[in-house]
């Protein structure tokens, strides 16, 4: 798929300063929400009872992680990627497994290395995010490569995991495409064309998704609203 290229960006964006990750001095408490009795089978979506959709950080959920995912894969892919191409295909079995399982960085780190903070490396990539947009295509969209995004294709854009006090705090600048048959593609972008984005609106107009607004990192907020355009062709 040659589409999913960002075509426009407001002119007052400044790249954020690198995040400083420190080991927490207090024990982190996790609140477990009331979950469905049975995990839905992917690609059926997961909803926590009594929680409005806009507050859902988990799209898909499973109590178990794909057994083919190894500790070596975790160590290779646990950190968010830095890319220079627009777009860069970062699809890999580890990301796909985490998307389907709905595990956060804390859970997958504990699974593979026991103590989440044993090596002080973070943030850990995950698909549990707030402020992410979800667009469902209501019609097919043809790409320049001759492929077709079918009606029902879901496009998840960026979002934020946790808040600034958490070692896994991170604002993403990626696009995840979930096809009706369950296939997944993940595209990453340079910050210059698609900054770390959360709390935005996403509007499908023709073959483009217009993204307006972003909370973003504090040091990267300009005086104008951020506007990005994702070209699906």
Percentage of residues in the chain with pLDDT exceeding 90? 50
pLDDT at 11: 53
Closest by alpha carbon to 35, among 54, 5, 56, 19?
Answer: 56
pLDDT at 106: 87
Per-residue pLDDT reduced to its tens digit, 57-92: 677 778 889 999 999 999 999 999 889 999 999 999
Omega within 30 of 0 (cis) for the link into 141: no
Per-residue pLDDT reduced to its tens digit, 141-183: 987 666 789 999 999 999 999 887 788 899 999 999 999 999 9
pLDDT beyond 70 at 21? no
Q: Using CA atoms, how far apart are residues 204 and 169, in angstroms rounded to an integer?
A: 29
- pTM score, two decimals? 0.79
pLDDT at 213: 93
Where on the phi/psi map is residue 182: left (φ > 0), alpha (ψ -120 to 50), or beta? left
Contact 37, 78 (CB under 8 A): no
pLDDT at 22: 38
């Amino acid at each position: 798929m040659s589409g999913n290229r960002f075509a426009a960006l407001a002119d007052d964006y400044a790249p954020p300063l690198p995040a400083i990750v420190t080991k927490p001095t207090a024990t982190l408490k996790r609140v477990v929400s009331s979950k469905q009795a049975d995990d839905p089978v992917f690609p059926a979506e997961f909803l926590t009872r009594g929680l409005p959709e806009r507050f859902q950080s988990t799209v898909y959920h499973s109590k178990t992680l794909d057994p083919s995912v190894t500790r070596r894969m975790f160590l290779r892919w646990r950190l968010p990627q830095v890319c220079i191409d627009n777009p860069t295909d970062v699809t890999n079995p580890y990301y796909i497994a985490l998307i389907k399982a709905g595990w956060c960085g804390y859970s997958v780190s504990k699974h593979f290395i026991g103590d989440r903070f044993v090596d002080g490396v973070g943030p850990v990539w995950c698909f549990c995010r707030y402020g992410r947009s979800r667009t469902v295509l209501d019609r097919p969209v043809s790409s320049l490569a001759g492929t077709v995004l079918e009606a029902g294709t879901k496009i998840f854009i960026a979002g934020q995991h946790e808040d600034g006090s958490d070692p896994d705090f991170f604002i993403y600048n990626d696009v995840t495409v979930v096809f009706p048959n369950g296939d997944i593609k993940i595209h990453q972008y340079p910050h210059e064309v698609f900054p770390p984005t959360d709390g935005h609106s996403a509007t499908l107009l023709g073959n483009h998704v217009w993204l307006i607004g972003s909370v973003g990192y504090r040091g990267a907020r300009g005086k104008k609203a951020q506007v990005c355009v994702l070209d699906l062709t």
